[in-house]
Chain A
Amino acid sequence: MLQRIRYAPPRYWLVVVAIVLFIGLPTVISSFQTSEWSQAIILAIAIMGLNILVGYSGQLSLGHGAFMALGAYTSAILVHRYKMDFLVTIPIAGLITGIIGFLFGVPALRLSPLYLALATFALAVVTPSLIKRPAELTGGVQGISLPPAVPPQFAKDAFAAVTGAPMTSDQWIYYVTLACAFILFWLAWNLVRHRAGRAMRAIRDGEVAAAASGVNIAGYKTLAFGISALYAGVAGSLFGLAVGFVSPDTFPVALSIQLLVGAVIGGLASIPGPLIGGIFAYFLPIESNQWVPTQTWIPSQIAATVEKAGPAVTYGVILILIMIFSPNGIVGLVATAYTRLRRRLRGAGERESGQAPPDPQTV
């Protein structure tokens, strides 16, 4: 065990540091900022789901907002009508959304990528209208208001012992979200390194070749859809609980686009990518909208346009920049920089001896 710890590559340490940072975060920032970070992590979970679908299995979805809506409404209805504990509803929401996603994947996999994108986009467009119809069940346009989550006693005690302040509902939701994110990221990490993940990547890189190697194309494509929807469902469930209110307009088409942009910015086909993507997708529009108008050096006309067009402009600009300078997203950028740095530091000797340093392991 000690040997394994000792020889663990540096990125394992990075993971440990990241986890410790995320656990410690609510003790340094305010309750409100904690609620912002919960939302960022929730987006990261949904983006992780999208990443499995887009990044690892090569299918495009513009409709993950719809799966989030399904998860959110499943939880909200269970909590609101059947008075269930919200923690219990999270896996239920995930499973139901996963099953629906799996079923949606059956016809969807017969579509070529472009048409699949359109089909999922249509799903995102009709979802808000669909939710309004069974008004008795979904609360119609009024939506469903949820009671704030009450932290259990052990969490309150632990938090009070560390910070001396009572734990708020937002801080409790943050830890629940963080736990879900940890489990789901760990599962994703396992998935992509094993049989299913290899099969998905094989399909992504060449369907014919994969089929020739005996990979069950249809099976793995629908599986990817189902797993991806499960992630979105859990994210949606957490989203509803964090916001305390779900309504049809909570899940506009823009949300699905936001997720896809987040996935691309973070870095497709990587495990830390979605986390970074989630943080960007959440904070970028909010910060840019509040930051741009305060900057006097930006011409007022541009500032006014940014204000009017909202997050779309910032997303667009960042997306273009990322596509030009780092097609593999921020994770790709960091990985490249790290490799270059290592070559600089260690490479001199190796170059002399004629041995090229090995490529960093990419998964």
Chain B
Amino acid sequence: MRLVAPRLAAVAALFVTVAACGGSPAPTVATDVGITSTEILLGNTNALSGPAAPYGTISNAENAYFTYINNTQGGVNGRKITFKILDDGYNPAKTVPLTKQLVEQDKVFAMFSGLGTQAQTSVRDYLNAQKVPQLFVATGATTFMADFSSHNYTIGWQPPYQGEARIYAKDVVANHPGAKIGVLYQNDDYGQDYLKGLTDGLGSNASMIVDKESFDLTAASTASQLATLKAKGADTLFLFATPTPTVKSLVIVTALHWEPTIYLNSVSNPQAYMAVAAKAGAALKNVTSVGYLKDPTDPQWATDSGMKLYKTVIANCSTCNVNDGFNIYGVAVAYTMVDILKQAGSNLTRANVMSIAGSQLNETNNPFLLPGVVVKTTSSDHFPITQEQVITWNGTGWTLKPPIIDERGTIK
């Protein structure tokens, strides 16, 4: 027994110490967590590594804009913006703990521009329950705007995929009324969202679709699906896919000696990807897409003040490629973020900022968007951007085809 007693005592002491340390008081709930007199703390999760790593640059571009605002204007109303970016590797299971870390440990004011549909869906309920704004998620999944009434701490920014697909439907009916449409779509919410928009947009013309083929993002090649579409007699190809499979598909189409009219979704149309496809042997004939951002590679914006500002801003990010379309996206959405913080003024509460973002947005002067594109929300409409312009590939860049088409109010 001599030995047992001290051992037991040691264990007991340990237990008591452990228990005693836990008695720290719970943090008081403040309405403006993440806001101090000198700082506004925003959090972000993005795919800095893994299969979707090309998107990672968006966060860095956003940070470049915040740095620019902090350096030139001293932040927003005297508060500098600190932007904490964490890597979730495009895995929703990682997004949850990282978001919890940002909310509960780092105590961010809001989550801004989190990337990925599944990833952002995985934390949507949590953030809404905690009443932490999930602002301007970097995905066009229609649910993030359409379901505002049930998740009013979540809002998207970019045009919804369904709206974009409706624009293609309009364009194809107007310019290729006899088209036999073949659709290649990624078998996930992303591809299905586009497909639904196209089918809804075609309406009574839906019979123009001769075949739909799906593929999984993990699939190595889309060759068999494209061969099937060609064999079914399609002369117009819709590619609803993320950049990597899109580039592969463009190359395969040419390899199949097939020359359909191609519609590309906007996610995959940055000039950088087109260049990769062309290098790999894609013919890129009759390619149509849509845009709502100014293309940094388009010479017509060379003297544009917005483009000059973009180039000044992006110089704050050493790893950002100035010609990457994702970077101007990041700077543009960061512009809207700063805009709503300015609008909130001294009433910097989560509820107020969310209300401005969700229903009082009316930004007509975002210098990085195509002229005429408005970022707008009202009490009954929570789709910030709904306008896009059809663009066609001219071999070296995209040619804008006026006018701007607005799909506001068509998606419920």
Contacts and interface: CB of A to CB of B under 8 A. Distances in A.
Interface string B159-191: 000000000000000000000000000011100
A245 B56 CA distance: 23
A129 B218 contact: yes
Contacts of A290: 86
A131 to B, nearest CB: 11
Nearest to A252: B91
A39 B1 CA distance: 39
Contact of B126 (A27, A28, A244): A244
Interface in A215-258: 239, 243-245, 247-252, 254
B78 to A, nearest CB: 27
Contact of B122 (A243, A251, A304): A243
Nearest to A135: B192
B118 interface: yes
A66 B48 CA distance: 25
Contact of B121 (A2, A32, A170, A245): A245
A46 to B, nearest CB: 13
Contacts of B96: 243-245
Interface in B77-124: 86-87, 89-93, 96-98, 100-101, 104-105, 117-118, 121-124
Contacts of A148: 126, 129
Task: Give the most central of A24, A166, A245, A254: most B CB within 10 Å.
Answer: A245
Contacts of A5: 4
A270 B98 CA distance: 31
Interface residues of A, number: 57
A145 B93 contact: no
Contact of B89 (A31, A39, A311): A311
A250 B48 CA distance: 17
Contacts of B187: 132, 141
A310 interface: yes
Main secondary structure of the interface of B (DSSP, over half): helix
Contacts of A170: 100
A193 interface: no
Interface in B17-74: 18-19, 21-23, 25-26, 48-50, 53, 56
Given A17-B14, A36-B97, A28 B22 contact: yes
Nearest to B125: A145
Contact of B21 (A16, A28, A132, A251): A28
Nearest to B3: A6
A95 B88 CA distance: 31
Contacts of B302: none
B216 interface: yes
A324 interface: no
A339 interface: no
A24 B189 contact: no
Given A33-B105, A141-B188, A250 B92 contact: yes
Interface in B379-401: none
Interface in A151-169: 162-166
A8 to B, nearest CB: 9
A21 B18 contact: yes
Nearest to B318: A300
Contact of B50 (A16, A250, A310): A310
Given A16-B11, A30-B104, A250-B91, 18 more contacts: A5-B4, A6-B1, A20-B15, A21-B14, A27-B21, A33-B105, A129-B216, A129-B218, A143-B118, A143-B121, A164-B22, A165-B25, A170-B100, A247-B121, A249-B92, A249-B118, A304-B319, A311-B49
Interface of B: 1, 3-4, 7, 11, 14-15, 18-19, 21-23, 25-26, 48-50, 53, 56, 86-87, 89-93, 96-98, 100-101, 104-105, 117-118, 121-126, 129, 187-189, 192, 216, 218, 319
For the complex of A and B, 4 pairs with smallest distance between CB atoms: A310-B49, A27-B22, A24-B18, A32-B104
